[in-house]
């Protein structure tokens, strides 16, 4: 039985890792060769492909993406946690309304608000910079919703009452009691926000009009597009942009799993 489980696990792992392997192998071939069949063995064109990628400001674009994603994580986690804590654990006027509002805004597709958002950013004077791509995470309805649920399920109100009786200040309770308990939730949210902002395409596409501020997905889609699409170079760039996300996921996978499954089973 155990061997069967292992075989299943190995097969599933291979199946899910295969696309990554192909991506890496494709980045070592000439584009035209990619169409002759799926390449299994690495080719000898990696140097050229890397050259194509690095020739065009890849490192700066990488820096832009990192800046955006890290700022997005900080901003989204901060606001979402505060919203979540407030709505989940405090009784105040408009609380239900606020929660409903968070859920409602989740239902509005980004595309609908896009033009309005660009106009807003232009009036704030931050059009054509990285700010629009970062600030969009300041009001992140999914994050708010996720933290409301997470805090409601994982923090017993009695615990907060105890802390109050013992004389802990409200910010103290938040920092010393709530934050340590919701670590898995924070990690999950941070990973998700990082991933989404790292892969975000539409928003940087329409808000950034300066090649200096392009982020990775927009940059990669602009790579080798004249008359012939240089898929091999794109694969090389994709490999380089996927690896950090993979590492992040591997590092955070333990807490990440905990966060995703928390609240799934009610005791």
Question: Which residues of the chain form contacts with another protein (CB under 8 A)?
Answer: 32, 34-36, 56, 78-79, 82-83, 85-86, 89-95, 98, 114-115, 118-119, 121-129, 131, 135, 138-139, 170, 205-207, 209-211, 214, 221-222, 225-228
How many whole angstroms separate alpha carbon 241 and alpha carbon 186? 23
Q: Which is nearer to another protein, 89 or 258 (CB)?
A: 89
The helix-helix angle for 183-199 and 58-89 (nearest 10°) equals 140
Q: Which is nearer to another protein, 122 or 176 (CB)?
A: 122
Q: Which is nearer to another protein, 95 or 183 (CB)?
A: 95
Query: Is 51 within 8 Å of 236 (Cβ atoms)?
Result: no
Smallest distance, Å, CB 201 to another protein? Answer: 9
Long-range CB contact pairs, 99-105, < 8 A, 24+: 99/148, 102/141, 102/144, 102/145, 102/148, 103/141, 103/145, 105/139, 105/141
- Apex CA 19: angle with CA 18 and CA 22, to 5°? 85
Smallest distance, Å, CB 150 to another protein? Answer: 16
Query: Is 160 within 8 Å of 173 (Cβ atoms)?
Result: yes
Q: Which is nearer to another protein, 13 or 169 (CB)?
A: 169
Smallest distance, Å, CB 62 to another protein? Answer: 16
How many whole angstroms separate alpha carbon 53 and alpha carbon 25? 16
Smallest distance, Å, CB 197 to another protein? Answer: 17
Q: Which is nearer to another protein, 123 or 266 (CB)?
A: 123
Smallest distance, Å, CB 37 to another protein? Answer: 8
How many whole angstroms separate alpha carbon 1 and alpha carbon 6? 9
């Amino acid at each position: 039985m155990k061997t069967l489980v292992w075989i299943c696990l190995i097969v599933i792992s291979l199946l899910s890792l295969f696309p990554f392997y192909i991506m890496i192998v494709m980045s070592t071939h000439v584009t035209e060769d990619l169409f002759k069949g799926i390449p299994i063995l690495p080719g000898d064109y990696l140097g050229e492909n890397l050259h194509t990628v690095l020739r065009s400001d890849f490192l700066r674009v990488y820096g832009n993406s990192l800046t955006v994603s890290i700022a997005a994580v900080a901003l989204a986690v901060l606001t979402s946690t505060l919203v979540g804590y407030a709505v989940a654990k405090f009784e105040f006027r408009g609380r239900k309304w606020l929660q409903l509002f968070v859920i409602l805004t989740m239902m509005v597709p980004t595309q609908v608000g896009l033009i309005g958002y660009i106009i807003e950013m232009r009036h704030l004077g931050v059009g054509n910079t990285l700010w629009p791509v970062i600030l969009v995470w300041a009001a992140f309805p999914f994050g708010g919703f996720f933290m409301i649920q997470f805090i409601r399920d994982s923090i017993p109100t009695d615990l907060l009452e105890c802390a109050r009786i013992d004389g802990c200040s409200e910010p103290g309770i938040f920092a010393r009691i709530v934050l340590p308990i919701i670590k898995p939730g924070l990690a999950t949210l941070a990973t998700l926000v990082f991933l989404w902002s790292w892969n975000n395409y539409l928003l940087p596409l329409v808000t950034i009009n300066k090649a200096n501020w392009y982020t990775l997905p927009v940059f990669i889609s602009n790579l080798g597009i004249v008359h012939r699409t240089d898929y091999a170079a794109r694969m090389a760039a994709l490999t380089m942009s996927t690896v950090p996300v993979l590492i992040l996921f591997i590092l955070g996978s333990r807490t990440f799993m905990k966060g995703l499954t928390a609240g799934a089973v009610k005791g």
